[in-house]
């Protein structure tokens, strides 16, 4: 880790009573730093604002957060920014009753950018199907909250297998995403992405891709349908558009993904 601050003070210590630690009471966003600026900063601010509203957390001033981020990322040519907002310390058990309005903690961290992403973004990755399923929740669907045990178990499965990443379904059998990224695929010449209103994360890159490519169809799909996909990629704010070269050991068309990469270069 290159940098860490809590509420504007450079430090790494946080109270053991923090609700983010005890209950995962909070949310986060992860962004790419390029030449001293945060890529898609306004989208990330919007995510934090919207997430705090959904989780009924008191978000500190957008202006002060924006100023903090603009200041701390200067001097980094290529790095990873992570912003976490926790509910802070207070309340009793799960209840927030008694928690002060200014209890929230803003944690800002900067770390090294994954050096292998650039190569993989041209060569493509190998992807399979996960044996696990993730839960559905009308309250939490789409939010990047701090409860990430499902993703920890998914990543453990990836580490135990030969593939680079895995695709996961929800408990109803609907395909949702990869372990830490959104999924896109071409089926019958149609570019599609899974519907994620009750499961998964509504990624910043997913939002941008849908906004800039009106032909993308948001729909429910299954592992059975993915067997017939002609091409596929995963995406998040760090990796951008990552081609999938094999899905369950079946070769896919990488060229169509690289073409989309080039077309989206100015936006991501």
Domain boundaries along the sequence of the chain:
3-113, 118-265
pLDDT score recorded for residue 62: 65
pLDDT score recorded for residue 63: 64
In the predicted structure, residue 82 carries a pLDDT above the cut 80 = yes
Please give the helix or strand (H or E) that residue 120 lies within, else none. Answer: helix 117-123
User: Any catalytic annotation for residue 30?
Assistant: yes
Angle between helices 204-212 and 41-55 (to 10 degrees): 120
Q: CB–CB of 28/36 below 8 Å?
A: no
Per-residue pLDDT of 39-76, as tens digits, reads 999 999 999 999 999 999 987 666 688 999 999 999 99
- Cα 236 from Cα 208, distance rounded (Å): 10
Question: What pairing do the DSSP bridges indicate for beta strands 3-6 and 9-10?
Answer: antiparallel
Q: Return the sign of the alpha-carbon dihedral for residues 226, 233, 251, 260.
A: positive
- Cα 114 from Cα 245, distance rounded (Å): 20
Average pLDDT of the chain to the nearest whole number: 95
Is 72 exposed, middle or buried (CB count within 10 Å of its CB: 0-12, 13-18, 19+)? buried
Per-residue pLDDT of 210-252, as tens digits, reads 999 989 999 999 999 999 999 999 999 999 999 999 999 999 9
Question: Domain 118-265: which topology?
Answer: D-amino Acid Aminotransferase; Chain A, domain 2 (3.20.10)
Domain 3-113 coded CATH 3.30.200.20: no
The conformational region for residue 26 under phi > 0 = left, psi -120 to 50 = alpha, else beta, is left
Question: What pairing do the DSSP bridges indicate for beta strands 3-6 and 78-86?
Answer: unpaired
User: Any catalytic annotation for residue 177?
Assistant: yes
Per annotation, catalytic residue among 43, 163, 177, 179: 177
What is the four-CA torsion angle of 195, 200, 206, 210, rounded to 10 degrees? 20
Coil, strand, or helix at residue 86? Answer: strand
Per annotation, catalytic residue among 29, 30, 193, 221: 30
Mean of pLDDT values over 69-85: 96
Per annotation, catalytic residue among 29, 32, 86, 144: 144
Closest CA to 201 of 145, 247, 135, 121: 145
């Amino acid at each position: 880790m290159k940098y860490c601050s809590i509420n504007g003070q450079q430090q790494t210590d946080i109270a053991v009573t923090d609700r983010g630690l005890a209950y995962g009471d909070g949310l986060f966003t992860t962004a790419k730093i390029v030449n001293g600026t945060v890529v898609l900063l306004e989208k990330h601010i919007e995510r934090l604002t919207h997430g705090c509203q959904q989780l009924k957390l008191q978000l500190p001033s957008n202006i002060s957060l924006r100023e903090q981020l603009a200041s701390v990322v200067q001097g980094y040519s290529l790095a990873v920014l992570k912003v976490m907002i926790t509910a802070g310390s207070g309340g009793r058990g799960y209840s927030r009753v008694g928690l002060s309005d200014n209890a929230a903690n803003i944690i800002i961290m900067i770390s090294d950018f994954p050096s292998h992403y650039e190569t993989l973004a041209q060569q493509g990755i190998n992807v399979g199907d996960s044996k696990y399923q993730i839960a559905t929740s009308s309250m939490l669907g789409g939010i990047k909250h701090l409860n990430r045990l499902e993703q920890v178990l998914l990543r453990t499965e990836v580490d135990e297998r030969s593939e680079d990443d895995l695709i996961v379904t929800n408990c109803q059998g609907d395909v949702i995403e990869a372990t830490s990224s959104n999924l896109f695929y071409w089926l019958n010449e149609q570019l599609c992405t899974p519907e994620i209103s009750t499961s998964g994360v509504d990624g910043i890159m997913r939002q941008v891709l849908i906004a800039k490519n009106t032909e993308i169809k948001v729909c429910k799909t299954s592992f059975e349908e993915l067997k017939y996909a002609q091409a596929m990629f995963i995406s998040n704010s760090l990796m951008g558009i990552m081609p999938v070269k094999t899905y369950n050991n079946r070769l896919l068309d990488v060229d169509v993904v690289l073409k989309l990469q080039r077309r989206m270069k100015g936006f991501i």
